[in-house]
Amino acid sequence: MADPVALARELIRCPSVTPAEGGALALIGRVLTGAGFKVNRVTFAEPGTDPIENLYARIGTQAPHLMLAGHTDVVPPGDETKWTHPPFAAEIADGVLYGRGAVDMKGAIACKLAAALDYVAAAGGKPKGSLSFLITGDEEGIAVNGTIKLLEWLADHGETFDHAILGEPTNPEKLGDMIKIGRRGSQNGTLVVTGTQGHVAYPELADNPVRGIASLMGAVNAEPLDHGTEHFGASNLEFTSIDVGNKTVNLIPAEARARFNIRFNDTRSREDLRAEVERRVARAAENRIRWRIDWEPSNADVFLTAPGPFVDMISGAIKEVTGLTPKLSTTGGTSDARFIKDYCPVIEFGLLSQQMHKTDEHVATADLVALTAIYRHIFERYFG
Summarize as ranges the residues that interact with Zn ion (CB under 5 A): 104-105, 168
Closest C-alpha to 42, from 30, 57, 31: 57
In angstroms, give the least distance from the CB of 138 to Zn ion. 11
With a CB cutoff of 8 Å and minimum separation 6, the contacts of 275 are none
First to last CA, the chain: 20
- Strand runs labelled E in the chain: 38-44, 52-59, 65-71, 92-93, 96-98, 130-136, 163-166, 178-180, 182-183, 185-194, 198-199, 236-243, 251-252, 255-264, 290-295, 303-304, 327-329, 346-348, 362-364
Distance CA 70, CA 165 (A): 9
Comparison of 10 and 361: residue with beta carbon closer to Zn ion: 361
Which residue of this chain has its Cβ atom nearest to Zn ion in the complex?
Answer: 104
In angstroms, give the least distance from the CB of 303 to Zn ion. 17
Closest C-alpha to 114, from 30, 8, 12: 8
Cis status, amide bond into 47, omega within 30 of 0:
no
Catalytic residues: 73, 139
In angstroms, give the least distance from the CB of 185 to Zn ion. 19
DSSP secondary structure string, 184-237?
A: -EEEEEEEEEE-B-EETT-GGGSB-HHHHHHHHHHHHHSS-S----SSS---EE
Comparison of 86 and 332: residue with beta carbon closer to Zn ion: 332
Comparison of 71 and 280: residue with beta carbon closer to Zn ion: 71
In angstroms, give the least distance from the CB of 141 to Zn ion. 11
In angstroms, give the least distance from the CB of 168 to Zn ion. 5
Distance CA 368, CA 115 (A): 11
Query: Do residues 348 and 165 make contact, with C-beta atoms less than 8 angstroms apart?
Result: yes
Alpha-carbon torsion, ordered 189, 194, 200, 204, to 10 deg: -140
In angstroms, give the least distance from the CB of 71 to Zn ion. 6
Cis status, amide bond into 169, omega within 30 of 0:
no
Q: What share of the chain is helix, strand, coil (3-state, %, to 5)?
A: 30, 25, 45
In angstroms, give the least distance from the CB of 103 to Zn ion. 9
Comparison of 105 and 206: residue with beta carbon closer to Zn ion: 105
Q: Amino acid letter at 340?
A: I
The total number of residues written for the chain in this structure: 384
